[in-house]
Structure 1
Amino acid sequence: MIEIINLSKSYGSKQVLSNINIRFDSGKIYGIVGENGAGKTTLFRCLAELEVYDGRIQSDEQNLKGKLGFLTSEPYYLPKITGEEHIYLLTDARKVKVDNLTERNIFQLPLKEYVSNYSTGMKKKLAITAVLLQKNEYFIFDEPFNGIDLESSIIFSAILKKLKDLGKTVIISSHIFSTLKDSCDYIYKIEEGTLSPPFAKESFDELEDEMRQKILMKDIGKIL
């Protein structure tokens, strides 16, 4: 469980998040949707303790940061590091011993090669693999489906369901709404730094229609 209480975040005079209150329970998958700049990534960075913020974040683990796996939308890699070395770097940081890495390489990545030679999709799959092998209790996935192929998307969707079955807390953002509909128990819309009430599965189509209508209100005739 993670609970956010009265969380606000500003960058100078710009208010990005305003009085966020939400609880993420174990064994559930939560989706966060919103336009670019709405505050999704800032919220995730606050949860990962990468930002200073006002308010409180508490969990049923004393060391939330040490139990939280954060997949950023654009993972960073050290120069001249192989895929294998990157995985061991992240797992060693959590004091997690990884055995039989070759067998656990479900995305069939060339782990002995430099990450700098990887495609965008391969880099994303390497980041997913490393976060999963850390044995975290909480997971934040920021746009995990971006750049990966159909086969890998199917595998990752199955991984999400497995994490839920294992009682993990999962928070995910995606611009591909269908991936959230298939995986999430609840979806929240973030707009102008505030969160909507939760949409349950029976309301996902309503939320999707609402978002589509808002997008179509933009005057596309100005560019055509």
Structure 2
Amino acid sequence: MLEIKNIHVHFKNQNVLNHLNLSIEEGCILGLLGKNGAGKTTLFESLYQSMPFSGDITWKNKRLKREMISYLETENYFYPYITGEEYLAYFTSKKEIEIKEIIEKFNLPMKKYVQYYSSGMKKKLALIGMLMLDKPINILDEPFNGVDFEGVHILYDIIRQLKSENKIVIVSSHIIETLFHTCDKIAFLQNGAIERIYDKEEFSQLNVLKF
């Protein structure tokens, strides 16, 4: 169980996260929904421990360590003169066969410099690197942005695979249909706190919300 208790983040004279509480079970795909500025990325950065916060975040009743998390950010940075093949060489994986299959499905030009990749191709490459880390908690911040139709469906399969491995996946998206397709639950973030968590049978109620 991942437990987020009383998380508070304050900067620039405002509360970004306001005593936020959230519990996520292993094997759960949780969607995070909220308007721009609601605090989604701030929550992810707090989980990844890349910004100061007050409160407690625990994994299996122990303080969460950054090493337990893989984090796919909205914008991915790569050194300009590195190929896709060289980038992935920095990672090690116990799932080489699965990773090779994903690379083939994404059809990335692995010997080409990443600076010539489209934004969608960069997103796919970063996702493969994240999967190779093989962590129990996986954060995907707007993973569908810039990804083509075929890539979206491969992403669906990858997220379901992570679930089958009993891993936690937390995913944000402005495309609400992508959350409907993948998530077990969707948490609505507003005014720096989780206002409500919707179960799968309640997803239709989210259609009336505007983002």
TM-score (structure 1 length as normaliser): 0.87
Deviates more, 1:178-187 or 1:60-69: 60-69
Instruction: Choose 1 or 2 for highest CA Rg.
Output: 1
The answer as to 2:74 corresponding to 1:73 is: yes
Q: Distance in 2 between matches of 1:19 and 1:66?
A: 24
Q: Distance in 1 between matches of 2:77 and 2:107?
A: 20
Q: How does 1:30-45 map to 2 (within 5 A)?
A: 30-45=30-45
Q: How does 1:187-202 map to 2 (within 5 A)?
A: 187-202=186-201
Q: Distance in 2 between matches of 1:85 and 1:62?
A: 34
Aligned residue for 2:179, secondary structure, equals helix
Once superposed, what is the RMSD of the aligned Cα atoms? Answer: 1.8
Distance 1:99 1:206, change over 3 A: closer
Q: Quote how far apart the aligned CAs of 1:64 are.
A: 3.0
Q: How does 1:168-207 map to 2 (within 5 A)?
A: 168-207=167-206
Deviates more, 1:9-18 or 1:28-37: 9-18
Q: Distance in 2 between matches of 1:49 and 1:112?
A: 33
Contact 2:57 2:63 in 1 (8 A): no
Contact 2:33 2:186 in 1 (8 A): yes
Q: Deviations over 1:43-88 (max 9, x none)?
A: 0000011111010111027663112110001111123111122222
Indicate the residue corresponding to 1:15 in structure 2. 15
Q: Which amino acid aligns with 1:190?
A: L
- The number of equivalent residue pairs is 208
Q: How does 1:153-172 map to 2 (within 5 A)?
A: 153-172=152-171
TM-score (structure 2 length as normaliser): 0.92
- Gaps in structure 1 of 5+ consecutive residues: 216-224
Aligned residue for 1:196, secondary structure, equals strand
Q: Deviations over 1:132-183 (max 9, x none)?
A: 1111111000000010010010011011111111100000000110110111
Seq. identity, %? 38
Aligned residue for 1:154, secondary structure, equals helix
Q: Distance in 2 between matches of 1:99 and 1:200?
A: 34
